[in-house]
């Protein structure tokens, strides 16, 4: 299950295709990126913001071009870019952040039922 606890995510259910760990650690780059993820998701809980609680965020929160092909060596999805990122609304972020509109994901998923839901790069 996605760690954001949004109603839409609970309805979508288990994210078998992957999720991303909320940036962990107290180094400024990680702490600041974590804040931006929380901001993008509307999460205001202090323990989460402080990195005291581990959270995994479902892949569907991220714009499609932000995740890379499956890496067989580490068996994990990765985000790109890992540095500065500007979204469609010209807002600048420290890296890829989970800002994708969930309703958009749900409708694109349903309309593309017989096609892959992601592209392998």
Contact range with Zn ion by CB under 5 A, out of 22-30, 57-65, 67-75, 79-87: 57-65
Two tokens at 104?
A: 């958009």
User: In the Cβ-directed half-sphere of 109, how many Cα atoms lie within 13 Å?
Assistant: 12
Closest listed residue to residue 51, CA positions, set 20, 67, 27: 27
The residue (of 92 and 103) whose beta carbon lies closer to Zn ion is 103
Instruction: Work out whether 2 is an interface residue with Zn ion (CB under 5 A).
Output: yes
The residue (of 11 and 121) whose beta carbon lies closer to Zn ion is 11
- Shortest Å distance, C-beta 38 to Zn ion: 12
Convert 34-103 into a string of H (helix), E (strand) and C (coil): HHHHHHHHCCCCHHHHCCCCCCEEEHHHCCHHHECCCECCCCECCECCCCCEECCCCCEECCCCCCCCHH
Instruction: Work out whether 99 is an interface residue with Zn ion (CB under 5 A).
Output: no
Task: Pick the binder of Zn ion from 4, 22, 33, 55 (CB under 5 A).
Answer: 4
- Shortest Å distance, C-beta 56 to Zn ion: 9
Instruction: Work out whether 40 is an interface residue with Zn ion (CB under 5 A).
Output: no
Cα-trace Rg, the chain:
14
Q: Which residues bind Zn ion (CB under 5 A)?
A: 2, 4, 9, 58
């Amino acid at each position: 299950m996605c760690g954001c606890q949004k109603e839409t995510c609970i309805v979508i259910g288990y994210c078998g295709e992957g999720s991303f760990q909320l940036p962990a650690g107290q180094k400024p780059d990680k702490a600041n990126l974590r804040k931006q993820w929380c901001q993008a998701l509307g999460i205001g809980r202090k323990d989460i913001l402080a990195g005291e609680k581990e959270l995994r965020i479902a892949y569907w929160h991220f714009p499609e071009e932000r995740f890379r092909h499956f890496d067989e060596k580490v068996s994990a999805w990765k985000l790109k870019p890992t540095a500065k990122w500007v979204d469609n609304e010209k807002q600048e972020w420290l890296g890829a952040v989970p800002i994708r509109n969930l309703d958009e994901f749900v409708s694109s998923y349903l309309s593309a039922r017989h096609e892959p839901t992601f592209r392998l790069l």
